[in-house]
Structures are given as structure tokens and as C-alpha cells.
Chains A and B, each alone.
Chain A
Amino acid sequence: MGNGFFTDTTLCIGCKACEVACKQWNQLPSDGYEFTANSYDNTMALGATTWRHVAFVEQPVDEHDPTVNRWLMMSDVCKHCTNAGCLEACPTGAIMRNEFDDVFIQPDICNGCGYCVPSCPFGVVDLIPHQHGIATTFATDGRTNDDAVQSHGGIAGKCTLCYDRQKVGFDPACAKACPTESIQFGDVDELKDRARKRVEQLQARGVAGARLYGVDETTSVGDLNAFFLLTDTPDKYNLPERPVLPSTRQRPGYTSAALAAGALALAGFAIFANGKTE
């Protein structure tokens, strides 16, 4: 049930069409023009105004031969977790789960408390700086999109899985643009079946380390509505090996708070007892 992404990194050619298509559709500003010298990655991470990010991993033959013989590319995105830390943390209900089972931030509700930011075990969501405007880039002749996120400075931003497009029957911009169909959009269960078959196929072809990330997970975060086919360990792609759902820490937290309070209260009663009689 629900719609999501299957990102098959073995089909990615690192063209970054997804990044641009996303920014175009969502009218997101650029994050500046800094040359990182980290392979072909100059945007480096997902952020408040970068909702797709292509990672580039150059892998040498071995310790002694720096010749690159494998160049991994992977288009990262919000995972739209089954159990979403950001959604649970959000105190206003601005972050909601929509009818497509995707995690959506309502820009008109979010008040920028920032609690979702540290609550995402994947480091996806972040706060959009104030006056961070595409208007500084594009003609202000009204031809830009009035729903543009840049009008939402001070609130949290992340992939909406193109909720607005889905509502009118369009595929998300990144999946539609992806020339090699490395990003596939559709019903999550169907995508998972496809992905499992794909892994078998690749392993049969001898593709080293082909694995799924975010499918049949045992972590508290559960399966991901945006999951990935990787050919190396998750950390190589800057993904957590075992993400933990923050809210699982609430019970022990409340408990120890209660115990501490109780203990101190008892101590207090003890100390202040036998006061009357002099």
C-alpha cells in the first residue's frame, strides 16, 4: 500500500537530472556555488532546499593502486519511513502522513520549532533559512511558482514526494526526469517485488554486494517508502547501517524522569518530615 521510490543505484549514471527536476518543480533556490573537489559531488548532502542528492563514490582497485575501477552513484532522497521520526516529533502536526502514505510537511502549519531536524535518523530534514529566495535568481515577473518553498523561510523543508503532483495524477518530478529509470516511482509493494527480483538478477550476474536498503528491515524505523538497491555497505553512501526510531527512547526517558522525581520527592519528604515538633 502507498506510493514510494525504488532507487536502483546500478542504473544511475549520476547525471543529477533528479536534483534539477526537483528544484525546478519545487522552485527551490540553489545552495551556493562551492567547488568541493569530492568527485563530481558539489551539493554534498540532502538539505532544506536540496531534496534529491546524487552521491559519487570513487573506489580504487586496492590500497596500492589508486586507479578507480568502480564509481558508485546514488540518488538520495527522504526515505518516507514507515515509522517517521520527524513526523512523530512534530509538535504541530504540520508533518503528516498523506493519503499516499508519504510523509509531508505542511508549509502553512510548520512553525519552525526545529524538533524534526535532530529527530530524523537519516539527517534529511532541515530548516529553510529566512529570505532564502529563488526570487534573487529568477525574474520576479510572476512567472515563478507562487507555491514556491522559498516563501517558507523559517520552516522545515524536505522531499514532499511531489504530493501536489501525485494529487493531480503526475509522477514525482525526479522519477519522471531520471533518464535511465534508476529512480522508479509507484506502489511500494510492487516496487519491492521488482527490487527483490532485481537483486537476484544482479547477484546471478555476479554484481558484488548487491543488496536492498529499506526493505524487510528489522529496525525500529521499519521499511522505507523510498528504498534503495546498493552495491556496497550503507555507510559508503552516507546512510546509517541501523537507523533507530527516536521515539523508542521516550518510554525509558519518561521512566527515569519519573523515578528521579519520585526519589527526590521521597528524599524531600524525608528531609522536611518531623518538622512540626520542636
Chain B
Amino acid sequence: MPGLGTTFGRGGATTFVQDLENADCILIEGSNFAECHPVAFRFVMKAKERGATIIHVDPRFTRTSAVADIYAPIRSGSDIVFLGALISHVLESGKYFREYVDAFTNADYLVREDFKDTEDLDGIFSGWEAGENLNDSSILNAGTTNSGDASAIDGNKHSAYNRETWAFELEEVPRYDGNGTVKVPKRDPSQQNPRCVINVLKRHFARYTPEMVEDVCGTPREKFFQIAEALTKNSGRERTTAFAYAVGWTQHSVGVQYIRTAAILQTLLGNMGRPGGGIMALRGHANIQGATDIPTLFDLLPGYMPMPAVARKEQTLAEYLGTNTKPTGWWANTPKYFISLLKAWYGEHATAENDFCYDYLPQLTGNHSMMSTTIAMKDDEVEGYFVIGQNPSASGMNGELTSDAFEHLKWMVNIDAYETETASFWKREGTDPTTVATECFYLPSAVVLEKEGTMVNTNRMLQWHDKAIEPPGDTVTDAWIFYTLGKMFKAHYADSTDPKDRPIQHMTWDYEHPDAHERAKGEPSIHRIMKEINGYSVADGTQLKTFTELKDDGSTACGAWIYTGVAPDDTKLMSRNRKADDWVSLEWGFSWPANRRILYNRASADAAGKPWSERKKYIWWDEAQAKWTGVDVPDFPVGKAPNTPAKPGASGMDAHGGASPFMLNLDGQAQLFTAGLLKDGPMPTHYEAVASPVKNALYGQQNNPVAMEWRRSDNAYNGTDNPDYPYVLTSYRVTEMSGIMTRYIPWLAELQPAAFAELDPELAVEKHIRNGDWVTISTALGEIEARALVSGRLQPLRLGKGRRIHQIGIPYNYGTMGHATGDSPSNLIPFVMDPNVSIHEAKSGTCNIRLGRRPTRTRTVVDEAVPQHKPEGQPSLHGAQRDTPGA
């Protein structure tokens, strides 16, 4: 998640769940921690029992709020105002951790003179290049590392920033070795210069006041001060505060900036890299972290290396390494990791002569993220689709557009353990299967107990799971399916001379299972795959123990450098370590990178390497042994003394001094101001959601100016302050349900048996809705029905100008299949895309609600309007047909 990545260097959660117990205060926002991660929440409860203050800021009073010490209601979609006001508060009151900030951040850097803030441009930063804000699937996604500038290279007309002014003023200093000079950011240790980052930050957030919080978030002022007090009181040398968030912060058109705001606040409070501190990113799926580390994401290669892209002119290996190798900091190692990856994939065929088969890798020509791809499908640009353990028709956005898009496919493969709404999209309500030409396949896949392998938990911990039982019937593992397909393709292309088939021919694919029984079934050896991921020496195949052993000369092969060391030799698998202790548990599982549990833990000691306090001691410099030591694996060169001076002009880590805990950043410092790393601003700015009941109270600019929209009749938007949709809509999941993986289980289905909509009593009375009644919730996109759950757990919010706002909450767990059924809110939520990570906006929108059930969906209306299989811009099944300007 680049919100964290651009600030600290890595996108992963910076701490581990057990350590939450050591926090003196925990701010839970953008997460319904107790309901969605109940078991990890036990550490929050332990902290509470130890006297910590638990704070929950959320649109709804949830099971998390029920046990929190402070609950503050907030209007969904306004978190940046709330967090921004906290930033402003700590800066103005000077209650931030001064020594920490001075030592470990870029607070004293000078921002370029020509940089213009949102203060100056009414909500827009300098470099704005206006254009049609429509997504034409051609914006390059930068991924989670700092790579090329979309607006600079994209021929298409869409708004984007030229980010060159979002940078620091540079000054020439002599190189460390005396030969000539080198340009480095100019600093003002006195921090008097108004262009110092800290002062720029102060100005930027000046208008984020408690009054503004009341007017925009609807959060009572006293609550705000209570929380500000708790945070500042519990941060500093002696005490630490931890933040926990989940998709409540990410699923917004400004999602990344929500996390950025939290990152800045935690940095100012000096809680990063310290026990009981940090930012806990709570991920939703068993291997969601793993699927980012070793991504099935269009813009990334394993280990957070970007996919080659035409837009960044990465036609050759040299060009690729040129853009993605950083002069200073850890990313100076990119060539080692990238070439080792190519060696792992293409084995002996990858040689220095042929650029290690660099040209085997396909090139990105645009944004190929889920939403863009779905639109492309609808527009008949995609023929075939693999859907593996996902259910976009029910759990995605604009479910109707999505299902509709599937009708435009030639073929579709679903791999799952149960029938899903996606697999049987051609049977959905109002659809006549005999009009759907898509050829559909279903492969039954094994569940976790029926196979072995690795899952990576929310705090980057790899855990190996053994196989318990045989899969039933024809069920096979996903690995079997991919492995078998690979063998089939290899066989098919064996004697092809077409260069396009060489990647298949040369792809290393020898994962034969040592066990005869498994081999007979054609199951690949997961251990052999893991060995390749871990990396080995090409010469003798010995497994590598750490990524520092990786070379850029083709002598090492490695599938994912960040995992190197998980399988140090043929017999050992660190992810299988099962020895726990009562805290850090270094011998339980394996946490990337290099088994570190708290990232940037060098910051748990002061600039001089001494613990900030005895109470919060974690990693420190041991003079005697001249090395970093402590209870965790130091996230720092272990022998690099705290007083080591930075070497200007040196490459890689040598350019960093001994007091630079954020190794992956160019300068090793936490980035309060990010120089052009994010597409929507170097500092977080509040923009209203694309569908919002109110005008942006802070700036003239209503929405994220570079958020991506698809303004077409099958993706209608409510727009701003639309009287037809006066209520805030938010979505979430409940403890008892996930999705298709729970709806078929009677024990869970009986606990939350039907889709419901939560609304406050006042609105219920106004709308003549009784608790338990059927209600219909509508947006410009369409309508769904649910049972009303009238509860004082939702409360009307009083915003500025006496505006009273009601919020309606709808769980995302339901669909038409299984024992617990109901409409999915996906039919209410249109495609909108955050510019940085292409995430959708499911957490805040607007809607209307009325008593009674929705009419049955019928296709006839549309059939008249649209002949089948005609691409582009047809009315969606039941969505309203009016286009609403978005920004």
C-alpha cells in the first residue's frame, strides 16, 4: 500500500498483531477491528486490560466501538479532515515528538520554490494538466515503487499532474570521495525557512481545524479533543500509540492519501518502528499480503518490482534497470533482484547475451486493473477470463456491469470450491441463459486443508500449512491446475518456431513431486516451487540464506527476493518454524524481509542508537559488540554505527548515515512530504467522494482531480449533493460472514441469514420504516432490497450550516447463492478508481431508501434498448440512465 510505501519505503504493515498488546493507546479508524479481525483484536483487549486507551472512529457504532474507551462518529469519506486536523493540532501545539522528527524525517528539507500548495490553488497542487477525467484504460499505474509519470507520457486526454515541482530544492555538496560535487536536498536544521517541509505541512493543514472536523465529519468537537489528548499523551519517549486500519480507509477515490495522512501523523508522534506503535494494516484475505508480495497484479513483478511498461520506455533491460534502480537506498539493488527473477523464470535460456530474456516479459500499455479490464470486456476487447477464488459479480463493484461484461466473453474459467454468482452469472435474475454465448468452465478446487503451501498473514508473516486430507471427488489444487496447463502449453508449443512462443518453451517448469502418489495425480511439488521463490545458486542449486547473496550476473536465481531465506536449505523451511514465545516469536513462521517483525525498528532507538526509553526498548546499538541488537532482527545494516556519516554521492546504502531507519527511501528518512511519488499530491488533501451529499467545505475542488471515472450509462454516478440521493451509503462485512466461503455453511448462515440495511431511528420514522421491514436502497446505478435494521448504533450527524446527514450501512457479504442470501451492494456502487492503486470507492457513496421491496429485475427493458453483444455505453439492467458530472 503506497500510502505507507511512499512514506516509509515499504507497503506492508509496519508491526505485528501481537505487539498491539504493548500499545498505550490504539486508534482504530477505517477498520471494524473487532468484527473483521476478532482474533487479532484479542491483543487490543489485552492492551485495554493493561490500561491502554482504545479509540474507535467509525460511521457506525460497531462491536469494536462497544468495547472501545472512546467512540467518535464520523461521516464516511471525511477521514482526511479528521486526521489532518490531528496533524495540525500536534504541529500547532508543538506536541509532536520533536527529537524523533528531527532525526528521522525530511522535516527540515526545503521544498522547491515553484511548488504551489492546495492553499494557493484552491485544492489543486502545481503541475495540474487539465483534461477529460475519463478513464480510457490507458493511464499507467505506478505500482508501489516510485516509477514513471503517467501524465508526462500518456497521449490520452485525462487530467493528471506534472509532478516535477513536487520536489525538494537541491544544493551542490562535495562528493564523499572528494571528486566533484553532487546534488542533494537542501536542509535548514533550524526549520525557520517557511519552505521547510514541516512549515509547508503546517500551512497545508492549517485549515483542518476542530471546527472543520465538526462541520465536515460531523464529529463532535469534544470527541476530537478527547482523541487528540489521548494520542499526544500516549506518544513520545515513554509511551507509544498504534494505528489500525483496513479497507475502510483504502476503498476511496483518495484511498492512498487516507493512509498517507495516518503515516504523517504517526511519524510526527514518533511512533514508527517502535514497540506498541506503528501502523497495523489489517488485510482481508488469507493471502492478500502474499498476493501482493508475489503478485497476481498487472503492474507488479514479485518483490515489488514494476512490470515493464511502454509508457516508461522500458523496451530493453538497460532501460528497465535505468528507471527502476535507485542511486541511493536499498533499491540500488534492483538489478540483482530483477536479473535473478529472470534466471528463475527462464533458467539457462536467460543469459547476459540475450538480456536474460528480458523481452520475454510482456509490456504494459495502460491500466490493466480489474475495473479497466471489466470495461474492456464489456467493450468486447477481452475473449477469455480466469476467475480463481473470486466472486466479482457479488463482491465487486457495479455487479450488473460486471456480469454483463461476462456475457461479452467468448469463454470463462471459474476455479472455486462452490458455485458462485460469478460462475453462474448467466443464470442471474432477469437473464435468459439462451441469450448468453459465453462458454463457461468450472474447476473444483481444493480448500486449505486439502493442500500444503504458504500463506502470508497481514503482518508479512509466511506460514506453511501441511496437507491434512485428500480433496473430494474430482477436486484438484489450484497448483495442479496451473501446473497442468503449463505442461499442456509447453507440449503444444514444443516445436513452434514462433518467437512469441519462446517464453512458454523456455519457462522453467520442473516441479515434479518427489512423492509417487502425488506425482501420479500430477500434483506439482510445492516445496520445489518454494525453493525457486527463495532463490538458489545457479551453479550448484544450493539455496540462498539471504537476499544479500543475490547477484546481477546471472549466477543466482530467485523468484521473490523479499522471501529469500525462508528456505535456507533443502531440509529447512523457516515458514514452518513453530516455536513461539510470549512476544516477538522470531521462531514462529518467517516474516519478510529477513524475518523482521517490526519494520524500521532502528527508529526504536534515538539518533545515537540508545533506546528512547527503558520502557520502550526494542532495538539498540551495542557499543561493545559494535552491532545493532535487541529482541527483533534489526531492520538496518547490523554493523552500521549510529554515528556513521552519510556519504553524499555514494551509491546504495553508503549514501545513508547511521541514523536513517527508512532504508528503502532514497535518503533513508520518513517522507512527511513525498517528492512526486504519488499521483494526487505530495501531501494529503481532503476531497469529497465522487458521490457525496455535500460540497467540499475546504476547497473549490470537489473530488480528487486525478481520480478515474467511467462516465457511461452503465456506470451512472450520483454526483454531488444530488437531492435524489440524500443519504450517505457505506458498506462493510460482518464477523459471521465473508462471502461465498461462508454463505454455504449453515453454522454461519444462521447467525446472519439475510442481507440487511442499517439505518438510524430518526430516518426510519421519517421514512415510515419499521425494524425488520423490507426496504429498497437506490443509487443512480440501480437498486437493491434488504431487511431494515433500525438501530441507534447509527446516528444522524450534524454538519456545517445545520445540515443533518443520515448514514445507511449495508453489509457486503450477500448474494443469491448459499443458505444466507440477499442483494449485494455491488449493484449500487459504480466504478471509480483511485489514481495510485486503481482501487474502487466502496466505502462512501450516496443513496436513497424507501419502504418496500424492489421490482423483480427484468431484462426486457434493456433488450429493447440494446441488442445483445453490442459494445459500449448501453444502459445497465436497472440503473438509472442519466449521466451525472463527477468532478
Contacts and interface: CB of A to CB of B under 8 A. Distances in A.
Q: Say if the two chains contact directly (CB < 8 Å).
A: yes
Nearest to B773: A37
B588 to A, nearest CB: 18
B41 interface: yes
Q: Which of B38, B63, B751 is the most central at the interface, judged by chain A CB atoms within 10 Å of its CB? A: B751
Contact of B66 (A36, A71, A141, A181): A71
B66 A16 contact: no
A96 interface: no
A30 B789 contact: no
A15 to B, nearest CB: 4
Contacts, number: 108
Contacts of B42: 179-181
Given A15-B34, A66-B792, A73-B66, A43 B41 contact: no
Given A15-B38, A42-B751, A137 B761 contact: no
Interface stretch (B228-236, B709-717, B752-760, B870-878): B752-760
Contacts of B753: 32-35, 42
Nearest to A61: B792
B749 A33 contact: yes
Interface stretch (A19-27, A122-130, A264-272): A19-27
A137 to B, nearest CB: 5
Nearest to A21: B747
B45 A43 contact: no
A89 B752 CA distance: 36
Q: Which of A11, A15, A19, A141 is the most central at the interface, judged by chain B CB atoms within 10 Å of its CB? A: A15
A66 B793 CA distance: 9
B61 interface: yes
B750 to A, nearest CB: 4
Contact of A58 (B67, B748, B751, B792): B792
Q: Which of B747, B752, B787 is the most central at the interface, judged by chain A CB atoms within 10 Å of its CB? A: B747
Nearest to A35: B754
Contact of A141 (B35, B65, B472, B735): B472
Contact of B750 (A13, A42, A71): A42
B63 A13 contact: yes
A35 B749 contact: no
A253 B621 CA distance: 82
Contact of B63 (A15, A29, A34, A134): A15
Contact of B41 (A16, A32, A179): A179
Main secondary structure of the interface of B (DSSP, over half): mixed
Interface residues of B, number: 42
Contacts of B772: 35-37
Nearest to A33: B753
A73 B63 contact: yes
B622 to A, nearest CB: 37
Given A14-B63, A32-B750, A43-B751, A179 B39 contact: yes
A13 B67 contact: yes
B746 A137 contact: yes
Contacts of A68: 61, 791-793
B791 A17 contact: no
B63 A58 contact: no
A166 interface: no
Nearest to A50: B750
Interface residues of A, number: 41
A139 B746 contact: no
Interface string A131-165: 00010010101000000000000000000000000
Nearest to B37: A179
Interface string B774-787: 00000000000001
A66 B41 contact: no
Given A67-B792, A139-B472, A179-B39, A33 B67 contact: no
B71 to A, nearest CB: 8
A40 B38 contact: no
Contacts of A30: 746-747, 749-750, 819
A134 B793 CA distance: 35
A91 interface: no
A13 B46 CA distance: 13
Contacts of B240: none
Contacts of B64: 13
B788 interface: yes
A58 B787 CA distance: 18
B552 interface: no
A60 interface: yes
A189 interface: no
A217 interface: no
Interface in A66-97: 66-71, 73
A11 B45 contact: yes
A13 to B, nearest CB: 4
16 contacts: A15-B735, A19-B751, A20-B747, A30-B749, A30-B819, A34-B753, A35-B772, A35-B787, A37-B789, A58-B791, A58-B792, A60-B792, A66-B761, A73-B63, A179-B38, A180-B38
Which 5 A-B pairs rank lowest in CB-CB distance, beginning with the nearest?
A37-B772, A30-B746, A33-B753, A68-B792, A71-B66
Given A13-B66, A42-B753, 5 more contacts: A13-B67, A14-B66, A31-B750, A71-B66, A179-B38
Interface of A: 11, 13-17, 19-20, 23-24, 29-37, 39-40, 42-43, 58, 60-61, 65-71, 73, 134, 137, 139, 141, 179-181
